[in-house]
Chains A and B, each alone.
Chain A
Amino acid sequence: MIVEFVDFLRSRMAGLAKIGVGILVLLVCLDALVINKHHAHTAIEHFPAFWSIFGFVVAAIIIIVAKWFGRQGIRQKEDYYD
C-alpha cells in the first residue's frame, strides 16, 4: 500500500511540483493577509512573509556554508585516520 502510494506520487512529479508552488504562494498570502501578528516578539516579524524569506535565506546559507566548509580540508578520504 505504501509502495503503491509512493509510486503513484512519483509518476506525477510535474503535478506535485505545481502543488508545491501552490502551497508556497498560499503560505505567503496567508501570512501577508490573514495571520494576526499582534503577539509577534519583534518588529521585523510584521514584514509580510518575513519567515518565508528567512527560511529560504538561512537554508541557502547553511547549504553554501556546509559546502564551503567541507572544501577547506574538513572533508577527507575515509581512510584518513588509518
Chain B
Amino acid sequence: MIDFWIHPSLILIIGALILPFVKGMPKKAFMVMIPLLAFIDVWQFCPKGVFGVVQFMDWQLTFGRVDKLSLIFAYVMSLMGIIGTIYSLHQDDDLQQIAAWFYVAGSLGIILAGDYLVVFLFSEIMAFSSVFLVWFSRRPKSIATGFRYLLVHTVGGLILLAGFVLRYKAAGDLSFNLLDVTHPHLYTYLIMMGFMVNAAVPPFHSWLPDTYAEASVTGAVFMCAFTTKTAIYTLIRCLAGMHVLIIFGVIMALYGVVYAVMENDSRRLLAWSIMSQLGYMVCGVGIGTELAINGAVAHAFAHILYKSLLFMGCGSVLYMTGKSKFTDLGGLYRKMPRTLVYTMVGALSMAALPFFSGFVTKSMIIAAGFEEHMYWVGFALTMASAGTFLYVCLKLPYLMFFGESRASEETMEKAADPPWNMQLAMAIGAFFCIFIGSYTPYLYNMLPYANEFNAYTPMHISETMQVVAFTALAFFLLRKNIMPTAQISLDIDWFYRMAGRGFFWLAKVPLQTIDTWVGVIYRVVGLVPLMITAKFWSWFDWNAIDGVVDGSARSVRGVGGVVRKAQTTLQYSMFWATAIGGLLLMLYVFT
C-alpha cells in the first residue's frame, strides 16, 4: 500500500489549467500525456480503500472511495479520456479541450466520491463543463440547445439535492451507499429521479438526443461516454435491486429503438441508441442480482467504447463532409473506406455479434432476467437487440456508406478519411471492442462480483445468429418502409419547449394588453381629471383670486406631477411583479 494518493481528477484539472500556456509541438504531447497520466494513476496507483477524507464544516467529505465497482468505472472513463483527447488532437481549440477535461474530471470525481455532497459538487462540474462542448460547436441551434441541456440538468441536480438533504434529515447520514430499496422513502425516489435525469430514463430523456446531435464533433465523443454511464454507476451504487427500474429499463430500450429506426440524422440515431442501450443497464440495476450487476457494469464498459467509436465514425463523416443527415449522404464507402471499417466494428459490437464486445456483456443482463424468471424482460430485451441490429448494422451503413448516394457532388468531393489522429483514436476504440469480445477474462476479471458467465455456448451463439439473420431478412423485405425523410421526430421535449413558448406568449400578449389598458385607464381616470382640475384652478387663480391665495395653482400642478410619477412607478412595479411572478411559476413548474 502506498502512502500518497492523487485524485485522477486533479491531474486533469491541473492539466486543463496549464494547457493554454503550452505552445507549439509540445502541446500535442502534453495533450496526450495528461489523460494518460490520469489513466495510469487509476490503473496503478489506486489501491482499494478510502482516501482524501476532508473535514468541511460539520461534514466529512470523502473524495476517494476505491473498490472494485468504482475502480472499473474509473478505469474505463480514464481510458475514454485518452481516446477522446487523441480524437480531438487536430483541433486548436483550448477552451473546448479544457471543458472536455473538466468534464472527465467531474465524471471521475463522482465515481470515486464517498458521499452525496461530493457527488453533487462533481455532477455540477460535469453539467457546467459539458454544456461548453455544445456551445463550442457554434451551430445555429447550439446556444438554445445548451441552455435546455443546462436547465434539465440543473433541475435534475435540484431533485437529487432535495433527495439527499431529506435523507440527511431523516438518517443523519450523507454517505453514498446502497439505499434500502425494499422500503423506499420519499428521499429514495427523489435520489432515484435525480440520477434518472442523468441516465436519460423516460420521461427525463429528451435532453440526450437534443444535445448529442448538436454537440461539436469531438464534444459528442466525450459526451456520449460520460454523463449517462456515470449515472449508471450512481444507480448501481445506491439503487441496485430497485425493481421499478426494470420497467423503466425495458421501456427505454424499446422506445430508443423505435425512435432510432425513424431517425434521419446519423448522430441523433446514435443518441437514441444510447438511450436504448442504457435501458439494458437500467434493467440490470433493477434486477439487482450479482449476474445482473456484473452485466450492467460490463455493458457500460463495452458501451462506452463502442458508442464512442460509432460517434467518432459518424463524427468523421460530419467533420469531412459537413453533413450528418442520411438524406444528404450515402455511397461513402469509396471515399471513406477506413471510417467504414471502424464504424462497422462499433456497429457489430453494439449489435452484440460473436467476437465483438456487446456479445459478452449484453447477454449477461438478458440471462439475469431469464434466471430471475422475468421472462418478459428477457424477451423484450432480445427484441430490442433485434432492433439494435436493424438500425445500427443495417440501416446506418446502408444509408451512409452503401446503397445509392443521395449526397451532392460537393459533399462527395469533400469526403475522405479523416486526419491521422482521428483514425488512430478509432483504431484504438476498435481494438478494444474486438479484444473485449474475443478475450473475455480481460473484462470479466475486473467486474465487481466473481463471474462464471460464459457467453460462448452453442445455444447462445445459435440464438444470436438466428435473431440477427432473420432481422436482416425482415429489413431486406421491408426496407422501403424505413427510408429516410428530411423530417424530425417530436418527443417529450415538445411539452417543455411549448411550455416555454406559452410563457412567452402569456407575457407578450395578455399581460401586455392588460398593462396597456391599465395605462390607458390611469391616463383617463387619473391624469385627465387632474389636468382639468389643475387647468380650472389655474384659470381660477389667474382670473379670480390672483394675489389672494398666491401659489395654489402651482401646488396643484405639483400634485399632478406627483401622481404622474406615481403612475409611472406603478407601471414599473407591474413589470417587476410580472417578472418575479413568472420566475416563481417557472421554479414551481420545474422544481
A residues in contact (CB < 8 Å) with B: 1-3, 6, 10, 20, 23-24, 27-28, 30-31, 34-37, 39-42, 45, 49, 51-56, 58-67, 69-70, 73-78, 80-81
For the complex of A and B, the 5 pairs showing the least CB-CB separation, nearest first, are A55-B470, A55-B467, A2-B337, A59-B474, A41-B370
Is A66's CB under 8 angstroms from B262's CB? yes
Interface residue from A20, A36, A52 paired with B459 (Cβ < 8 Å): A36
Measured between C-beta atoms, what is the minimum distance from B455 to chain A in Å?
13
Is A75's CB under 8 angstroms from B488's CB? yes
* Binary per-residue interface labels of chain B (469-502) against chain A in the complex, 1 for a CB within 8 Å, 0 otherwise: 1111111001001100111111100000100000
Is A62's CB under 8 angstroms from B470's CB? no
* Cβ–Cβ < 8 Å partners of B386 in chain A: 54-55, 58-59, 62
Is A49's CB under 8 angstroms from B466's CB? yes
* Cβ–Cβ < 8 Å partners of B371 in chain A: 41
Is A66's CB under 8 angstroms from B261's CB? yes
B44 contacts the other chain (Cβ, under 8 Å)?
no
* Binary per-residue interface labels of chain B (364-396) against chain A in the complex, 1 for a CB within 8 Å, 0 otherwise: 000100110001001100110011001000000
B residues in contact (CB < 8 Å) with A: 257-259, 261-262, 333-334, 337-338, 340-341, 367, 370-371, 375, 378-379, 382-383, 386-387, 390, 402, 457-459, 462-463, 465-475, 478, 481-482, 485-491, 497
Is B470's CB under 8 angstroms from A2's CB? no
* Cβ–Cβ < 8 Å partners of B469 in chain A: 23-24, 27, 52, 55
Is A27's CB under 8 angstroms from B478's CB? no
List 4 extra interface pairs beyond A23-B469, A54-B386, A61-B383, CB under 8 A: A6-B337, A42-B375, A76-B490, A78-B486
Is A62's CB under 8 angstroms from B257's CB? yes
* Cβ–Cβ < 8 Å partners of A62 in chain B: 257-258, 261, 383, 386-387, 390
Measured between C-beta atoms, what is the minimum distance from B38 to chain A in Å?
35
Is A40's CB under 8 angstroms from B473's CB? no
Tally A-B pairs: CB < 8 A.
Answer: 145
Is B489's CB under 8 angstroms from A74's CB? yes
* Cβ–Cβ < 8 Å partners of B334 in chain A: 3, 6
Interface residue from A63, A73, A75 paired with B478 (Cβ < 8 Å): A63
* Cβ–Cβ < 8 Å partners of A64 in chain B: 478, 481
Q: Please classify the interface of chain B as helix (H, G, I), strand (E, B), loop, or mixed, using the class held by over half of its residues.
A: helix
Per the bound structure, the CA–CA distance linking A16 and B485 in Å amounts to 28
Is B387's CB under 8 angstroms from A58's CB? yes
Some 14 contacts from A to B, beta carbons below 8 A apart, are A6-B337, A24-B473, A31-B462, A34-B458, A35-B462, A40-B459, A41-B378, A54-B382, A54-B467, A66-B258, A67-B262, A69-B258, A74-B262, A78-B488
Closest residue of chain B to A58 (Cβ to Cβ) is: B383
Per the bound structure, the CA–CA distance linking A35 and B464 in Å amounts to 13
* Cβ–Cβ < 8 Å partners of A37 in chain B: 459
Interface residue from B259, B466, B488 paired with A31 (Cβ < 8 Å): B466
Is B333's CB under 8 angstroms from A27's CB? no
* Cβ–Cβ < 8 Å partners of B262 in chain A: 66-67, 69-70, 74-75
* Cβ–Cβ < 8 Å partners of A30 in chain B: 462
Given contacts A62-B387, A66-B258, A67-B482, are A78 and B471 in contact (CB under 8 A)?
A: no
* Cβ–Cβ < 8 Å partners of B257 in chain A: 62
* Cβ–Cβ < 8 Å partners of B258 in chain A: 62, 65-66, 69
Per the bound structure, the CA–CA distance linking A18 and B71 in Å amounts to 49
Per the bound structure, the CA–CA distance linking A65 and B469 in Å amounts to 20
Measured between C-beta atoms, what is the minimum distance from B224 to chain A in Å?
22
* Cβ–Cβ < 8 Å partners of A53 in chain B: 470
Is A39's CB under 8 angstroms from B459's CB? yes
Is A2's CB under 8 angstroms from B466's CB? no
Per the bound structure, the CA–CA distance linking A11 and B170 in Å amounts to 71
Closest residue of chain A to B144 (Cβ to Cβ) is: A81
Measured between C-beta atoms, what is the minimum distance from A64 to chain B in Å?
7
Closest residue of chain B to A6 (Cβ to Cβ) is: B333
Most A-side CB within 10 Å, residue of B259, B402, B459: B459
Is B487's CB under 8 angstroms from A78's CB? yes
Measured between C-beta atoms, what is the minimum distance from B444 to chain A in Å?
19
* Cβ–Cβ < 8 Å partners of A56 in chain B: 470-471, 473-474
Interface residue from A39, A59, A74 paired with B475 (Cβ < 8 Å): A59
Is B482's CB under 8 angstroms from A75's CB? no
Per the bound structure, the CA–CA distance linking A51 and B464 in Å amounts to 8
Per the bound structure, the CA–CA distance linking A70 and B580 in Å amounts to 40
Measured between C-beta atoms, what is the minimum distance from A48 to chain B in Å?
11
* Cβ–Cβ < 8 Å partners of A34 in chain B: 458
Measured between C-beta atoms, what is the minimum distance from B416 to chain A in Å?
12
Is A51's CB under 8 angstroms from B462's CB? yes
Per the bound structure, the CA–CA distance linking A77 and B482 in Å amounts to 17
Is B462's CB under 8 angstroms from A41's CB? no
* Cβ–Cβ < 8 Å partners of B491 in chain A: 74
Closest residue of chain A to B467 (Cβ to Cβ) is: A55
Closest residue of chain B to A72 (Cβ to Cβ) is: B490
Measured between C-beta atoms, what is the minimum distance from A39 to chain B in Å?
6
* Cβ–Cβ < 8 Å partners of B487 in chain A: 70, 75-78
* Cβ–Cβ < 8 Å partners of B378 in chain A: 41
Per the bound structure, the CA–CA distance linking A6 and B518 in Å amounts to 74
Closest residue of chain A to B474 (Cβ to Cβ) is: A59
Given contacts A58-B383, A63-B390, A63-B474, are A27 and B462 in contact (CB under 8 A)?
A: yes
* Cβ–Cβ < 8 Å partners of B383 in chain A: 54, 58, 61-62
Measured between C-beta atoms, what is the minimum distance from A12 to chain B in Å?
14
* Cβ–Cβ < 8 Å partners of A59 in chain B: 386-387, 390, 470-471, 474-475
Is A36's CB under 8 angstroms from B458's CB? yes
Per the bound structure, the CA–CA distance linking A51 and B378 in Å amounts to 13
Per the bound structure, the CA–CA distance linking A12 and B481 in Å amounts to 25
* Cβ–Cβ < 8 Å partners of B463 in chain A: 45, 51
* Cβ–Cβ < 8 Å partners of B467 in chain A: 51-52, 54-55
Per the bound structure, the CA–CA distance linking A39 and B467 in Å amounts to 18
* Cβ–Cβ < 8 Å partners of B340 in chain A: 2, 6
Closest residue of chain A to B378 (Cβ to Cβ) is: A41
Interface residue from A39, A55, A74 paired with B468 (Cβ < 8 Å): A55
